[in-house]
Amino acid sequence: MKPNRILLACVAAALLLTNTLTFATARPPYLNRSLPVDRRVDDLMSRMTVDEKVGQLNQLFYFSQFMKPEMMEPGLREGKIGSLLFMTDPATINRFQKIAVEQSRLKIPILFGFDVIHGFHTIFPVPLALASSWDTNLVERVQTVAAREASAAGIRWTFAPMLDIARDPRWGRIVEGAGEDPFLGARIAAAQVRGFQGSDPASPGRLLACMKHFAGYGAAAGGRDYDGAYISDAELYNVYLPPFKAAVDAGVGSAMSAYMDLNDVPATGSAFLLRDVLRTQWGFKGFVVSDANAVGNLVTHGFAEDKSDAAARALTAGVDMEMSLPIDPVSGAYSSSLAKHLQEGRVTKAQLDEAVRRVLEAKFKAGLFENPYADESRVASIHNDPDHRRLARIAAQRSAVLLRNEGNLLPLDTKFSSVAVIGPLADSKRDIRGSWSFADDIKSAVTVLEGIRAKVRPGVKVEYAPGVDIARAYPSIFETFFGRRPAAWGEAQRREEFDKAVALARSSDLIVMVLGQHEEMSGEAASQSSIELPGRQRELLESISALGKPVVLVLINGRPLDISWAVTRVPAILEAWHPGTEGGNAIADLLWGDATPGGKLPVTWPRSAGQIPIYYARNLTQEPETKQGFTSRYWDIPTSPLYPFGYGLSYTTFTYSNLRVSKPTAKLGEPVEVSVDVENTGRRSGEEVAQLYIHQRSGSASRPVRELKGFERVALAPGEKKTVRFTLGKPELTYWSAASKGWVQDPATFDVWVGGDSTATLQTKFQITR
């Protein structure tokens, strides 16, 4: 070959090689959407350095309020960050994503997460309220809309549903869950997962869900947030875990490890929870993220020696990704020490790869490699979709619980020509929404005062007075981020406002009092020793009730409160919880009869904090106190709650009859069908939640006096009667027995009650035999 030919051949070969390389770099198999996820993950992992792998396990907060994008950008470019949370602005999300996808070596997209708990732009009722609807279809629709709004902004992962069973209203986070009951909690859990993820979290408008806080967080000692929990195995399996199991069965994509110690082992370092239960017993395939700083916090527990030890112990226990709030991207426990552990053999390659694989799998399955960006041009139209507001109003109507309605004061008569709307929460846009409302347009929230003004007929005078002011003893962490409350009133203003409110009430025909708690009085880091109405609210209620005028009390709050004074003096009480953006309209609809209350309490309502913990599914270890003898549990107050679990009134009445079982005796494992007729015996249409409770009379362990095992919310026109059917199969009749240390179904006699709350009296029974 002539030298110039040789040169030409070399050039051609070099070009070919470059082309091949370029092609290989531009389109490696992991970027080929038509390949199965496993292959893509294998291919990607084969290209990753240890630092890039550790980077995928590193999740950081980004607070636009006090951080600058420049703080994050180098870490994104270098592949040191796998996920970011707390961002809500689509432009910044896209800006960061572009760096990861175009400028990082392997172009791995960032998974953006946020606490989409009860809405994003449109705020729905808080989770405790949604659970009060006992309407799983509604809950699913709500979370579908929440997912649609959040994903429009570029968020692809929500830290919800929160599935902690809570039996202590002092614990502020009771507001974030579905209340005290494992059966109701499990149904609501599955509905939320379906709502967020749909059948595929990668489909447009859906999010990856994250069940939290795994597990036992709601049993915090003394109701103090973050405190340790001691839960027996029986209570764990029978009470605290069922909602999580239901979420896993519904296909939830991720889980968050809880902050606290469970029986002396931090949940974030618990191989029992994260491996034995989650993976081995339940076959969970998603990934686990720690709660914020929970890995580093293992040192605080007196568990890990230092941050580096914490990283090794969390990873080997089964925490795949660390959520942390570091100063720079490499100061988290994982990012600062996993590479070293790998080198020194404290963590194996297999252990590291297992975690990385799960995170990457989630990113592929969420469709992030194909659709990494938010479509900024569509955000506003999705957020302002009027259907979302309509659903928010319906959700708030359906979540309210009517606690009292003496003399059928509600729905309100149109004869009232002047209405006094009184109370510190009556015109508060902030408090109508509830905790975890960070991304909405607060101005568009409708207060109770605004809802009432829009509702009354022309000519009716509606006037407002706050009457009292309320405040936490010290500000909440969220207040420091999202705006302090105005300073408390001075003594002179206090007296003046109080008197003004009483005078306004005196000159009005009807008084609607809106009392309760600020949104930051419940939620995270918002536990409370007392459950009294804060401030001078009760005093105001007493003074106004003394006027002898019709008074309706509307409660805006995130936990049951001590209202024992009110329940014998105030004729009408509506628990609205924090009802969300459309709350004021929904409350007015309910008060004036354009909607009928049908919600039921998902928690037992105590008379006072002294009864806590109080829940209906307790074991009866002594004769009931209705009998004479050594039976009284307290001598100063009754043992019974103020309102039982499942309780709630309507504007109509319902009667239950004809309770029957398909067979009086069934063999172990065979299902029993139960049916009952529910009739609307009043003069208005309404909805009733028919609830089925069982009691197992004997067995290998003591069983609760009652356990919810079925419910259905039924709509009935006046005079209409419907038959409601339930199935009691093996899952409903099986429990984890402390005596045999495992799941059992005992041959036994079972009592069955069906009715409108957990004190239902219509009863039958059946027997399970060998």
Question: Which of 159/240 has CB closer to ligand BGC?
Answer: 159
CB of 173 to ligand BGC, least distance (A): 8
Q: Residues in contact with ligand BGC, total (CB under 6 A)?
A: 7
Strand partners, 654: 680
129/666 with CB nearer ligand BGC: 129
User: 741-764: string of b/e by CB count within 10 Å (b at 16+)?
Assistant: eeebbbebebebbbbbbbbbeeee
Is the Cα dihedral 430, 436, 438, 441 positive or negative? negative
Site for ligand BGC contains 164 (CB under 6 A)? no
Contact 628, 730 (CB under 8 A): no
Give the burial string for 696-715 (b: 16+ CB within 10 Å, else e).
Answer: beeeebebbebbbbbbbbbe
CA distance 597 to 750: 32
Please state, in angstroms and rounded to a whole number, the distance separating the CA atoms of residues 762 and 755. 7
Q: Which is nearer to ligand BGC, 159 or 364 (CB)?
A: 159
Min dist. Cβ of residue 115 to ligand BGC (A)? 5
- Cβ partners under 8 Å of residue 562, min gap 6: 530, 531, 532, 533, 606, 607, 608, 609
Asked if residue 291 binds ligand BGC (CB under 6 A), the reply is yes
Concatenating the DSSP letter of every residue in 405-474 gives EGGG-PSPPTT--EEEEESTTTT-HHHHH-SS--SS-GGG---HHHHHHHHSPTT-EEEEE--S----SS
Nearest approach, Cβ of residue 322 and ligand BGC (Å): 12
Q: Using the rule CB under 6 A, is 322 a contact of ligand BGC?
A: no
Residue 678: closest CA among 695, 663, 691: 691
Position of minimal CB gap to ligand BGC: 159
- Tell me the C-alpha distance between 546 and 552, whole Å: 13
Decide: is 212 part of the binding site for ligand BGC (CB under 6 A): yes
Beta bridge partners of 693: 708, 753
Q: Which of 60, 94, 115, 649 binds ligand BGC (CB under 6 A)?
A: 115
What residues between 371 and 430 interact with ligand BGC by CB under 6 A? none
Tell me if 521 sits within 8 A of 472, measured CB to CB.
yes
To ligand BGC, the closest distance from the beta carbon of 87 in angstroms equals: 11
Whole-number minimum distance, CB 395 to ligand BGC, in Å?
22
CB of 247 to ligand BGC, least distance (A): 15
User: Which two tokens mark 36?
Assistant: 């199965």
Task: Note whether 438 binds ligand BGC by CB under 6 A.
Answer: no
**CA atoms within a 13 Å half-sphere pointing along the CA-CB vector of 216:** 27
292 binds ligand BGC (CB under 6 A): yes
225 binds ligand BGC (CB under 6 A): no
Closer Cβ to ligand BGC, 292 or 312, answer by number: 292
Here's the x/- map for ligand BGC, 472-511, by CB under 6 A: it reads as ----------------------------------------
At 716 the three-state DSSP class reads strand
Smaller CB separation from ligand BGC, 115 or 497: 115
Of 23 and 481, the one with the shorter C-beta distance to ligand BGC is 481
In this complex, which beta carbon is closest to ligand BGC, that of residue 121 or of residue 213?
A: 213
Site for ligand BGC, residues 83 to 102, rule: CB under 6 A:
85
SS3 call for 486: coil
CB of 118 to ligand BGC, least distance (A): 13
Of 226 and 647, CB closest to ligand BGC? 226
For residue 149, give the amino acid letter.
E
CB of 290 to ligand BGC, least distance (A): 10
Is residue 291 annotated as part of the catalytic site, yes or no? Answer: yes
What are the CB-based long-range contacts (under 8 Å, 24+) for 345-348? 346/312, 347/312, 347/315, 347/316
- Read off φ and ψ for residue 85, nearest 5 degrees: -135, 160
Closest CA to 514 of 574, 597, 598: 574
Given the complex with ligand BGC, which of 108 and 162 has the nearer CB atom?
162
Nearest CB to ligand BGC, comparing residues 260 and 570: 260
Dihedral angle over CA of 232, 233, 239, 241, nearest 10: 130
Pairwise CA distance, residues 403 & 406, whole Å:
10
Please name which of 151, 177, 158 lies closest in space to residue 85, comparing C-alpha atoms: 158
Quick one: which of 524, 575, 679, 687 contacts ligand BGC (CB under 6 A)?
Answer: 524
CB atoms within 10 A of CB 589: 21
The CA distance from 168 to 131, in Å, is 16
Least distance from C-beta 159 to ligand BGC, angstroms? Answer: 3
Amino acid found at 599 = G
* Residue from 164, 225, 291, 757 carrying the catalytic annotation: 291
Cα dihedral 342, 347, 352, 353 in deg (nearest 10): 90
Intra-chain end-to-end CA distance of the chain, in Å: 92
When the beta carbons of 60 and 85 are compared against ligand BGC, the nearer one is: 85
Least distance from C-beta 107 to ligand BGC, angstroms? 27
Among 112, 120, 134, 159, binds ligand BGC (CB under 6 A): 159
Q: How far is the CB of 527 from ligand BGC (least distance, A)?
A: 13
Q: Which two tokens stand for residue 438?
A: 């960070």
Residue ranges that bind ligand BGC, judged by CB under 6 A? 85, 115, 159, 212, 291-292, 524
Catalytic residue numbers read 291
